Amino acid sequence: MQVNLNNRHQHILWATVRHYIATAEPVGSKSLAEEYNLSVSPATIRTGMSFLEKIGLLYQPHTSAGRVPSDSGYRIYVDQLMKPSETLAFEVEELLQKQLNLPESRLEALLQGSAQILATLSGYITLVTMPQTATAKLRHLQLVQVEAEKIMLIVVTNTYETQSLMMDLRAVNQKKHGKDLPENSVLPDPEDIDRELQILSNFLNSQLRGRAIGELSSLDWTELDREFEKYAESIKNLLESLALRCQTPEYTRILISGIAEVLRLPEFSKMQQVQTIIQLLEEEQEQLWPLIFEVPSTDNQVTVRIGSENPLEPIQGCALISATYGNGITPLGSVGVLGPTRMVYENAIAIVKSTADFLSEAIGGS
């Protein structure tokens, strides 16, 4: 929303939003005159507030009450009148680094810990989406013989998720001999198989490490020694199956923390409203996921949806702030907070961005 306000009207809107965020009470001109250095009389402030109400940035919940910001008023405040807290952003980053680490295969613990810290610091509901496997990159691959006739392909991603598929060793040897083998045929020596699988694993890692899971089926088999060609078709089929299995889903699971935090706020005092939000969070995450996992179209890195800007009815009285985390330029998941439109935006935006940056660094540097 683009509205051109003069300096006086900007100051009055800024003071009104700040006062309402702090008190949750409709704001009058006398309060602004007493608590903020606006350098004008209460009568001038009243005139300014009337103008801001006329253009839709403030409204009166009751005729005898003061004024409160509208969704559009909050939007102007966020876009033009405030700056995220750099001090808080630095403190959040230090706290996350101090309290969390990234042990292998414990990515979910890292994300859940981040969600809990974010909920405690912000006082709002925290939403952290699990990474998308298809955009994750291969960290390590291993072929292991697990039974006399079975080989397991194990793939570990840079997000420390593990995928595995089984391959029939008898099919490999049928490929080698060019005919069906009898059921009682003798398989190669296990030590020879282990040696071949280790050499083949080393080759696959050299070719595929760092590639997205969705790209694993594109391998240059011309560099594979003739000795191992018998494995080529079976492994190619496995990689294609893995890539298909890990295609980006419509949504991934959302880790939620901080519901108890917002129940203390007056906006969530009505049980029916709380129930509809909890139902959305617990049972209808597929609707919420696209709003959280949204790559910003600007350089701001953070997406802010205020009130009616949220298309889902249960949260149209809320503000949703989110940012993506990822590996380099590839977004893997997202971090968000959900709270009332009467939100401390300076702090919430700083906390969300710092948490997303922390997760990106932890995953990218791992």
| Under 8 Å between Cβ of 353 and 301 | yes
Number of Cβ atoms within 10 Å of the Cβ of 262: 21
Q: Read off φ and ψ for residue 153, nearest 5 degrees.
A: -95, 120
Most confidently predicted of 98-112, 214-228, 262-276: 262-276
Partners of 150 in beta bridges: 147, 168
Question: What's the confidence (pLDDT) of residue 25?
Answer: 92
Question: What's the confidence (pLDDT) of residue 354?
Answer: 95
Question: What's the confidence (pLDDT) of residue 180?
Answer: 52
Tell me the fold of 86-132+251-365.
Answer: Beta-Lactamase (3.30.450)
Higher pLDDT pick, 48 / 361 = 48
- Binned at pLDDT 50, 70 and 90, residue 232 comes out as confident
| Under 8 Å between Cβ of 75 and 52 | no
Tens digits of per-residue pLDDT, 7-40?
Answer: 999 999 999 999 999 999 999 999 999 898 888 8
Question: What's the confidence (pLDDT) of residue 247?
Answer: 57
- In whole angstroms, give the CA distance from residue 323 to residue 296: 8
Q: Read off φ and ψ for residue 39, nearest 5 degrees.
A: 60, 25
Question: What's the confidence (pLDDT) of residue 12?
Answer: 95
Most confidently predicted of 44-48, 167-171, 219-223: 44-48
- Mean pLDDT rounded to a whole number for the chain: 83
pLDDT (mean) for 212-236: 67
137-174+184-247: CATH number: 3.30.390
- In whole angstroms, give the CA distance from residue 275 to residue 226: 64
Q: Read off φ and ψ for residue 19, nearest 5 degrees.
A: -65, -40
pLDDT (mean) for 76-87: 94
Tell me the fold of 7-81.
Answer: Arc Repressor Mutant, subunit A (1.10.10)
Task: Tell me whether residue 302 is exposed, middle or buried, using C-beta atoms within 10 angstroms of its C-beta: 0 to 12, 13 to 18, 19 or more.
Answer: buried
Tens digits of per-residue pLDDT, 305-353?
Answer: 999 999 999 999 999 999 999 876 678 889 999 999 999 999 999 999 9
Cα three-residue angle 327-333-337, rounded to 5 degrees:
130
- Take residue 198 and report the two structure tokens written for it: 């280790």
Q: How far is CA 296 from the centre of its chain?
A: 12
Tens digits of per-residue pLDDT, 255-310?
Answer: 999 998 888 888 888 777 788 998 998 888 888 888 888 766 555 689 999 999 99
pLDDT (mean) for 185-213: 79
Same fold flag, 7-81 and 86-132+251-365: no
Q: Read off φ and ψ for residue 154, nearest 5 degrees.
A: -110, 125
Amino acid at 349: I
Higher pLDDT pick, 248 / 111 = 111
- In whole angstroms, give the CA distance from residue 302 to residue 352: 8
Q: Which of 78-92, 94-108, 215-229 shows the lowest mean pLDDT across its residues?
A: 215-229
Closest by CA to 59, choosing from 47, 76, 73, is 73
Partners of 140 in beta bridges: 156
Domain map (residue ranges) of the chain: 7-81, 86-132+251-365, 137-174+184-247
- Binned at pLDDT 50, 70 and 90, residue 250 comes out as very low
3-state helix, strand, coil in the chain (%, to 5): 50, 20, 30
- Binned at pLDDT 50, 70 and 90, residue 246 comes out as low
Residue 228 falls in which region: left (phi positive, over 0), alpha (psi -120 to 50) or beta: alpha
Decide: helix, strand or coil at residue 23: helix
pTM over 0.75: no
